[in-house]
Structure 1
């Protein structure tokens, strides 16, 4: 089968930052599905792994990355029960396994959902990783209850990014929250408003703009951009007994004691935790993806697809990675095979 990967972590402008090659088509066993892939999307995790997985020593065989895929089940393992050959599915995969930048991929059925019936392959491929991340942030980490928490405020940092774009919709339409998203450019501000944000504020003047809209403090904060850069601002902005969730990690230590006086809860959200550690509730991702598919099919949620490329090629992957690295991507970029 055809695949695209890399042996050395190189700048995306270098000729061999990605290479095309042929490798054996894998075989399904256990809980695995063998998927013939039709489309993939590109996320920040892709370029971060590309930049760091082979920095010091070249790999003997190319590493295939890529998370987020749509495709058709071609074969099933002996322990599977949720899907059959011919089913159309979508998923975000497993960080510890070979990725989706290939013609075929193995994926555990417990982290796979049914593809939205009314969406195209490209529209569907834009959703899994970011949809899971946003859903888990709100309902598994914060544990928002739409019945009792309706109307509470959430600040979404980087509202026009991949995760922010779906989080705005889930927070507004499913959780019933008052959504404040950050964006600084006119096109990103318009994007956030189109997706349902109640307020869009410029992150370069965050405190002043929150004051202007009457939300000096918020109940929840979702950090989808840079925990270190916003840490003290988040502490100042969060309400007493509020909850902060970050997906970005911390390159430098942060002072957790700043949370103490307000009794603020802090959580990390890492979408790959369940698959990486085969947690007891691993199947929840299957359930979340199916729920999101239903919400997409009934038009409650909208796809976050913004750019589509045609063909699994080195050139397309380079262009998609360069766009992600620029920090200027709006919504999601998808490559159809």
Structure 2
């Protein structure tokens, strides 16, 4: 009798999985491949809860393969290395982000842009070159090719550093690529959630003037006093919004819900750039008129390659940047998902996997 995918690999693993589009997660036994010549086996200690985990668990984007073990903000300790591994050793503190493999042959891979490789393998809800499904960080161990493993800086706390492996690189990469890192320029951060609050911190470290754009007046004190933003703009206040029109050089749009782009574009100066990194479950309407009359640019970005992600971690380490987190046990995960859907978290849930996952 043929073995199921959950039994195919020899190394037993345990985690929490969603089995249907209810998104409810529960204990799940599965398996990982043995540690190969180029592999690193990692005991998972912490894993961030990304909004894309929620979308994947509920199949909001329409391509979830059940059962799915989410989690791609993974931090842990190395427990085994292959004979060819020269980047890591046992007990090193390491991280795994959104991707765990790519073709290594295409132009994107050669440029350090593995995240755009047509054959990129996601950390979960993907299929590896041997046809086996990948499972994420809501689990006890993971086995990853050394070339897709990140070194966690010594001074970075493991729990609060975990979300940087997705949230951090998701905002850092476009800010660097689109030139949104020039000291003295004015950056708007649309949305103050898991991505937005890290964007504020990175923007300030780049020397930018940072304005948070939000629908919630209650977040003003947090944005300015806690996160260090220079100003706060309530998007539902017509007078204040009108006064801010044409004042910003860049906007990074982190909003994961369906929303209008026209108001954000109006805030940009001539040659302004709006870069969207949130992933709403439905298409957004793109107004062309404000792009043309203001010679404005709208773009997107998909996390970053391995080299750039390491660069981001080192940058955040230098500037003492971490995520603001709420640490949870894995048996609190379904409640956390419900709260995440309501944006009831300041600002990222992180699962204490090492101290709470048990069979």
Shorter chain as normaliser: what TM range? 0.7 to 0.9
Give the counterpart of 1:229 among 239, 259, 262. 259
Higher relative contact order (CA 8 A, sep 6+): 1
When residues 309 and 111 of structure 1 are mapped into structure 2, their CA distance, relative to the original with a 3 A threshold, is same
The answer to which of 74-83 and 127-136 deviates more is 74-83
SS of match in other structure, 2:184: coil
In structure 2, the partner of 1:85 is 90
The answer to which of 245-254 and 260-269 deviates more is 245-254
1:332 pairs with 2:348: yes
Q: Quote the Cα distance in structure 2 between the aligned partners of 1:287 and 1:183.
A: 29
When residues 44 and 30 of structure 1 are mapped into structure 2, their CA distance, relative to the original with a 3 A threshold, is farther
Q: Quote the Cα distance in structure 1 between the aligned partners of 2:28 and 2:200.
A: 39
In structure 2, the partner of 1:24 is 31
Q: Quote the Cα distance in structure 2 between the aligned partners of 1:57 and 1:24.
A: 19
In structure 1, the partner of 2:9 is none
When residues 287 and 83 of structure 1 are mapped into structure 2, their CA distance, relative to the original with a 3 A threshold, is farther
In structure 2, the partner of 1:239 is 269
The 8 Å contact of residues 91 and 129 in structure 1, kept in 2 or not, is answered as no
The Cα shift of 1:57 comes to 9.6
In structure 2, the partner of 1:261 is 293
When residues 64 and 332 of structure 1 are mapped into structure 2, their CA distance, relative to the original with a 3 A threshold, is same
When residues 31 and 215 of structure 1 are mapped into structure 2, their CA distance, relative to the original with a 3 A threshold, is farther
Number of residue equivalences: 306
1:164 pairs with 2:180: no
1:155 pairs with 2:162: no
Q: Quote the Cα distance in structure 2 between the aligned partners of 1:286 and 1:108.
A: 16
Which 4+ runs in 1 deviate beyond 6 A? 53-58
In structure 2, the partner of 1:70 is 75
When residues 304 and 253 of structure 1 are mapped into structure 2, their CA distance, relative to the original with a 3 A threshold, is closer
Coordinate RMSD, CA, aligned: 2.7
When residues 106 and 180 of structure 1 are mapped into structure 2, their CA distance, relative to the original with a 3 A threshold, is same
1:306 pairs with 2:338: no
Give the counterpart of 2:240 among 189, 193, 209. 209
Q: Quote the Cα distance in structure 2 between the aligned partners of 1:93 and 1:201.
A: 32
The 8 Å contact of residues 255 and 279 in structure 2, kept in 1 or not, is answered as no
The answer to which of 194-203 and 241-250 deviates more is 241-250
The Cα shift of 1:209 comes to 2.1
